[in-house]
């Protein structure tokens, strides 16, 4: 069984990077720097969504299915430096060579990790291999959009047509899964300023399990899982979450209607 790694990232404005780009003094508070960055972006594009390279990664949640195990954890929960968070994520790919699964990972998460990893000197040879080291990667790698080693489930379900992309929250709820709980991505910066890193990580973990459940439903739809196998897999997820600590899992299980 090929390991499956579902992932999701949470980011905040890179105030240090923006200050460097526009030559702001160190005395300007981060909150004001972020407001300046978003104002500049609104004036340029009509949206305050910053360029991918100005998103600082504060958490990467992972759901790993390997062997007879399923587990969920978050890199960054202990406030590790961004470089360490990103390096540990790519170290996991180096170790497992997993099937990567994301929701909009091709449009957001991975480009952010590419830029931020480049800035920090992160190494990820397995991830970047396109056949130079392993000939099998020439025809199926993590980089090429239409290759399956990274499955951006949102992108595939929309047949690579951005105008018909579905939000994770709404599609998850329509399938009977909990959807987003506690916050959404637009609230992460404010939450971090209030010292709520744990709540951010909890939120990110619930997103990654929503994505994993949608992936299981997709695997059933395309015939890779029988109906019996599908229910076995979802039962395993329930059992793991029931045995896990954290109020977010109690809330998640209570909202799971499938």
The CATH number assigned to the domain holding 60 equals 3.30.420.10
pLDDT at 208: 98
The residue range of the domain holding 246 is 4-255
Contact by Cβ (8 Å): 101, 116: no
Find, among 85, 37, 49, the residue nearest to 197 by Cα. 85
Residue 9's closest CA among 98, 71, 76, 54?
A: 76
User: Residue 63's pLDDT band (boundaries 50, 70, 90)?
Assistant: very high
> How far apart are the C-alpha atoms of 73 and 204, rounded to whole Å?
10
Task: Give the total number of structural domains in the chain.
Answer: 1
pLDDT of residue 249: 97
pTM, to two decimals:
0.96
Q: What is the mean pLDDT of residues 13-42?
A: 96
pLDDT at 114 over 90: yes
Residues β-bridged to residue 59: 10
Is residue 181 pLDDT above 90, yes or no? no
* Buried-state track 24-60, b at ≥16 Cβ within 10 A, e below 16: beeeeebeebbebbbeebeeeeeebebebbbbbbbbb
């Amino acid at each position: 069984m090929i390991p499956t790694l579902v992932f999701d990232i949470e980011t905040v404005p890179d105030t240090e990077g923006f200050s460097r780009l526009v030559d702001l003094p160190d005395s300007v508070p981060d909150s004001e720097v972020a407001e300046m960055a978003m104002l500049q972006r609104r004036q340029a594009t009509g949206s305050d969504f910053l360029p991918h390279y100005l998103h600082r990664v504060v958490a990467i949640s992972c759901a790993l299915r390997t062997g007879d195990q399923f587990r969920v954890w978050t890199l960054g929960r202990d406030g590790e430096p961004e470089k360490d968070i990103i390096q540990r994520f790519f170290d996991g790919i180096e170790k497992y060579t997993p099937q990567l699964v994301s929701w909009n990972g091709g449009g957001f998460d991975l480009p952010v990790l590419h830029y931020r990893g480049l800035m920090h000197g992160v190494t990820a040879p397995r991830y970047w291999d396109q056949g130079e080291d392993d000939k099998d990667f020439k025809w199926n790698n993590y980089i090429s959009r239409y290759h399956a080693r990274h499955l951006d489930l949102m992108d595939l379900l929309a047949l690579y047509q951005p105008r018909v992309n579905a939000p994770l929250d709404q599609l998850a709820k329509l399938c009977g899964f909990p959807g987003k709980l506690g916050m959404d991505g637009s609230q992460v910066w404010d939450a971090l300023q209030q010292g709520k890193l744990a709540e951010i990580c909890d939120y990110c973990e619930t997103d990654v399990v929503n994505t994993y459940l949608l992936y299981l439903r997709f695997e059933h739809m395309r015939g890779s899982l029988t109906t019996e196998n599908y229910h076995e897999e979802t039962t395993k997820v329930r059992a793991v979450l029931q045995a896990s600590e954290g109020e977010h899992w109690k809330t998640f299980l209570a909202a799971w209607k499938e």
